[in-house]
Structure 1
């Protein structure tokens, strides 16, 4: 939560820090670096709030080799300090305007000071990957003699290579008498590889962040290291693997940093399949195209439809909706799905069900119909929406408020069907926008009811009405399924 929170544009209030810390603790993280106490009073409030949680994990504060930094950490009541000393000549001469011996002497003094005040000390060499390794080891040995409990080699700008990392850590663990940590950045996309190389060479601790958040290109992702250790190296950790995805989603939401769809393990696409060849293999054995099951990290497999979908993909998707089709019907449904995909559309569950309705000759007239939707929003007004719908011909009028006009409209719709169904909005995103003031927007929603999840889409020049259209379509499908309207022909 320190290096991760240094992601550009991210600032966590104390309650958010506590929320994340609780989840990291439940995940099985051994040490939580809750922040840098010298940063601000608000940062200190956040660190103190985490300390008060009395978590199982050791709570740490970042500190420079400056007495004031350590004093602030002591005042926050943390268990340990991550005491960082620049060790490359570039940092020593250009940033600190000092020399090697002065920096080493300052490091020794601050280690002794922190130990005297009862803190666990992890002495960290900043920019160690661009430093003279002999000097790094000299500083580390002096730090251990002064009382440092752990040491950390920092690849501050991500320039390590896995083979070089292994050699460095073999030397470090051979010459030093205390646990050694690896701290990597992902500037060249090698953070996980370098971290695993260090652990293989004998490092006993890895500095990681959830989703790989952090400065510039970020830090080593916790989820990648934990899963790689387990499934590639057969090494168990105390990480509760099934908590990885829920924790990933929480961190992404609270930090406001979306996870890339193609991000390993926790990205939206990590366990999503479209290709007909792949889905055909999955139907025989999921291991054909999945190295681990999605349930391992608290996820579920998804089958999506588009132009790459084959007969097997469509058949599996229909089964998930409780539908079966003859061979000829399946061919026709597949043809129409591909046609929609060729137009650049993301084929939602609602789209598939509409196509199936037509091909299978099912009459599924919408139970919910939107009659009117009005929005009140402005600089000084709470966004408010009023909707008029009919449910099975019965008129319902409801209003709702929200943080914005779309939120207000969807809240009003949820309230309007509360007597029929408890429907939740799980995900909402704008998938495509054309240019110009009359831009066409494509809204995609994922909704759920009693554990059943469905996706739907709405399009148009008005983002509010496109959102309402998608939500009404999804509500109809969820209510129809729950009440037995979706049946096998």
Structure 2
């Protein structure tokens, strides 16, 4: 049960994500949330980068948070002075160490790089401030030189070293081996910083912990340069699942994720592990049936949605089964018998087959529509077929083939539009005066495939009225269904009176 410290760099490396720029008030909100979450260190920014960055870091450093506040600096006195003036608890100094970066950036000899690093660490420590040292691009640096420079800064008094996989090229086995060798070579704590260029940031971070790393650098939602950094929520949940301790209050993970999503404008995909909308959602009938009996059947089990501030959702779609649809309806207060349930399930699957995302609202509309139907044995009108024609040079026309009180009828009518033509064809079908006194159409969800909710009130020649509703992706057919329902009820009502 080793305790692993969590170093969050959302406000520094996370903000370096293209398109992300956080004003001071946003940074303060995120810093307070990170402190509430329980991170051990908050890297608040790069104080020498700009005046605004300096002021943001200084404000955060003076908020009185429980977390230690860190500022980034190159191995130059000007940067270090700015970080110290910003009142940080830790100055994080770095220098390139891989051949490719040295050749194309600082152009120094290995001896000069080591000396610059030692001088920077000693300078930070002379001001009574903690110091972290990073050999930038460590995973592409020769191991002998990496050991040499880390040992030199250790002897200079560094408090912790960081091993960054700067360009995300590490793999778990190689990174494990690297950290293991450094752990055997050094006495200071080891921190790791993994990028996600090959989607291995979480795996590499976990491998480093297994090899002996003491601290992990992460960002909320995996924000950061290029493909981002190791996501805080994934790393923390995995460490918990594998028996490691952190100081993170996991019940605030989803809350923190959504705050950062809102303030940065970077939307999370629904299938984002741990905090994504679908992380604990189930559509497949087999999965949903199992989860309703015991969540462990189709979830990791050791991490529950409640533990991370999430909720389990049983959703509907073309893969949905009877059990989950019945459970959703029952939870919403609907009483559905087996016959009606079969019709509801079929309608849901039909919508799903058309590529429609079926929401709970869609399901409730379908259920209410089905529950509002006259039973087959009591129907006055049984429709076999309805055809509606419309177009740029076609007069809107509706043709209905139905059985009315046991008599086969086929009628047609034209109108100013397809819905009007359909209503008139129904009137012709009945052979009596029927008026549509109210017609209302609501789109339940957005988009061109939105499910339409149609409300229709019909009135006969005696002034009797009835209101019915229907729901469907096809507005014309939903309108037709609503009218037929209303007429069926109206005629049944009069028949029973007689």
TM-score range, shorter chain: 0.7 to 0.9
Match of 2:18 in 1: 8
Pair 1:223-2:249 in alignment: no
Distance 1:81 1:443, change over 3 A: farther
CA distance in structure 1 between the aligned counterparts of 2:265 and 2:149, rounded to whole angstroms? 39
Pair 1:101-2:111 in alignment: yes
Q: How many residues align?
A: 374
Match of 2:265 in 1: 256
Match of 1:129 in 2: 139
CA distance in structure 1 between the aligned counterparts of 2:353 and 2:472, rounded to whole angstroms? 18
Partner of 1:166, secondary structure, is helix
Match of 1:278 in 2: 287
Partner of 1:37, secondary structure, is coil
TM-score, reference length from structure 1 = 0.74
CA RMSD of aligned residues (A): 2.0
TM-score, reference length from structure 2 = 0.72
Match of 1:196 in 2: 206
Pair 1:239-2:227 in alignment: no
The correspondence of residues 435-446 of structure 1 with structure 2, limited to 5 A, is 440=448
Residues 271 and 302 in structure 1, CA contact (< 8 A), matched pair in contact too: yes
Match of 1:338 in 2: 349
Distance 1:256 1:343, change over 3 A: same
Gaps of 5+ in 1: 364-429, 433-439, 445-456, 461-489
The correspondence of residues 400-439 of structure 1 with structure 2, limited to 5 A, is none
Residues 362 and 451 in structure 2, CA contact (< 8 A), matched pair in contact too: no
Distance 1:167 1:254, change over 3 A: same
CA distance in structure 1 between the aligned counterparts of 2:265 and 2:49, rounded to whole angstroms? 21
Shift of 1:361: 2.3
Match of 1:112 in 2: 122
The correspondence of residues 334-483 of structure 1 with structure 2, limited to 5 A, is 334-361=345-372, 440=448
CA distance in structure 2 between the aligned counterparts of 1:302 and 1:138, rounded to whole angstroms? 53
Residues 83 and 121 in structure 1, CA contact (< 8 A), matched pair in contact too: yes
Match of 2:189 in 1: 179
Residues 351 and 473 in structure 2, CA contact (< 8 A), matched pair in contact too: no
Residues 316 and 325 in structure 2, CA contact (< 8 A), matched pair in contact too: yes
Match of 2:337 in 1: 326
Larger radius of gyration: 2
CA distance in structure 1 between the aligned counterparts of 2:181 and 2:451, rounded to whole angstroms? 55
Pair 1:296-2:342 in alignment: no
Residues 92 and 100 in structure 1, CA contact (< 8 A), matched pair in contact too: no
Residues 275 and 313 in structure 1, CA contact (< 8 A), matched pair in contact too: no
Partner of 1:46, secondary structure, is helix
Q: Deviations over 1:174-220 (max 9, x none)?
A: 11010011110000011111100100111000000111110100000
Residues 43 and 69 in structure 2, CA contact (< 8 A), matched pair in contact too: yes
Which of 317, 329, 339 does residue 306 from structure 1 map onto? 317
Shift of 1:352: 1.2
Distance 1:286 1:28, change over 3 A: same
Gaps of 5+ in 2: 1-10, 375-444, 453-470, 475-498
Residues 135 and 162 in structure 2, CA contact (< 8 A), matched pair in contact too: yes
Match of 1:73 in 2: 83
Residues 93 and 99 in structure 1, CA contact (< 8 A), matched pair in contact too: no
Higher relative contact order (Cα pairs below 8 Å, separated by 6+ residues):
2
Q: Deviations over 1:308-336 (max 9, x none)?
A: 11112211211221212111111111001
CA distance in structure 1 between the aligned counterparts of 2:133 and 2:113, rounded to whole angstroms? 13
Partner of 2:216, secondary structure, is strand
